Amino acid sequence: MMEVKEESQAEVDEKHQIVKINHNVSQKETLKTEDIKCENSIREEERPADHKRTHSEEKPFTCQQCGKSFRRKDNLKTHMRNHSEEKPYTCQQCGKSFSIESNLKIHERIHTGEKPFTCHGCKKSFRYKRGLETHMRIHTGEKPFICFQCERSFTSKGNLKTHMTIHTGEKPFTCYLCGKSFSIERNLKIHARIHTGEKPFVCQECGKSFTFQSVLIRHMKVHSG
């Protein structure tokens, strides 16, 4: 009959320690695997602790002035410029300043002519992502902005705002030379040609220029008649 060797307390403690170490290693490997799964969503400048808050929705950094909370400390720092009106990022072309560097980069597209957002349907390009999103409604037929007075719908908030002047009678665009007011900014720009003498519409038949397109159309009918 084999003699069963009784383990000493030291041997038992050593085995428990090995099991504990193996368990901790396994947990670390699991966490590491989870981090790898979403590593593509972690920005280069973002610390892992900041990134993990995207899953927990924890926002420990709070603005003492308005109570808005943020996941990252540097986001709070950027937000505070809204209260201080600090604008450290300045356009070298026109001198306009911004509180956020990304807004400066977006603004610079005005000067560079860059239009990185392209419609896959008609290949038309836009300077801003919002411009593309609004344009896409032409293809989808979506009109999410509805007039509460007549229920007419529009593809953009700006178009709805312009439409509302029909109901309110508001004419916020005023000519500084003669004081005449308009509900639509485009109409003010057209009106301004009376003062500037600009005549952008040219007859291809005789070369005569006109201030308004409607006058050119009437002129063309005379030639065609």
Instruction: Indicate the residue among 112, 128, 145 that finishes a domain.
Output: 112
Alpha carbon distance 99, 88 (integer Å): 6
Please tell me what DSSP assigns to residue 125.
Answer: E
Tokens representing residue 68 in the block: 């808005």
Cα dihedral 85, 91, 95, 100, rounded to 10, equals: -10
- Give 148 or 38, the one with higher predicted confidence: 148
- Give 134 or 26, the one with higher predicted confidence: 134
Does 138 map to a domain? yes
Tokens representing residue 58 in the block: 């924890």
Does 11 map to a domain? no
Does 193 map to a domain? yes
Q: Are residues 99 and 67 in the same domain?
A: yes
Could you tell me how far CA 15 lies from the centroid of its own chain?
58
Domain with 189 in it: what CATH number?
3.30.160.60
Is pTM beyond 0.75? Reply is no
Residue 17 has pLDDT above 70, yes or no: no
Alpha carbon distance 183, 190 (integer Å): 13
If residue 83 lies in a helix (H) or strand (E), which one and from where to where? helix 81-84
Does 23 map to a domain? no
- Over the stretch 132-145, which tens digit does the pLDDT of each residue have? 998 999 999 999 99
- Over the stretch 38-83, which tens digit does the pLDDT of each residue have? 444 444 445 665 566 666 677 778 888 788 888 778 777 777 777 7
Does 126 map to a domain? yes
Does 146 map to a domain? yes
2-11, 68-77, 141-150, 200-209: range with lowest mean pLDDT: 2-11
- Over the stretch 74-114, which tens digit does the pLDDT of each residue have? 777 777 777 777 888 899 989 998 888 888 999 999 899 99
Instruction: Indicate the residue among 96, 112, 128 that finishes a domain.
Output: 112
**Which range of residues forms the domain containing residue 203?**
182-224
Does 127 map to a domain? yes
> Total domain count for the chain?
3
Q: Are residues 193 and 143 in the same domain?
A: no
Alpha carbon distance 122, 119 (integer Å): 6
Average pLDDT, rounded, for the chain: 79
Q: Is 103 exposed, middle or buried (0-12, 13-18, 19+ CB in 10 A)?
A: middle
Does 162 map to a domain? yes
Q: For residue 71, which amino acid is it? A: R
Residue 193 has pLDDT above 50, yes or no: yes
Q: Are residues 142 and 164 in the same domain?
A: yes
* Three-state DSSP state, 34: helix
Instruction: Indicate the residue among 90, 112, 134 that finishes a domain.
Output: 112
Alpha carbon distance 37, 41 (integer Å): 9
Q: What is the per-residue pLDDT for 60?
A: 77
Q: What is the per-residue pLDDT for 11?
A: 62
Q: Are residues 105 and 121 in the same domain?
A: no
Alpha carbon distance 60, 57 (integer Å): 10
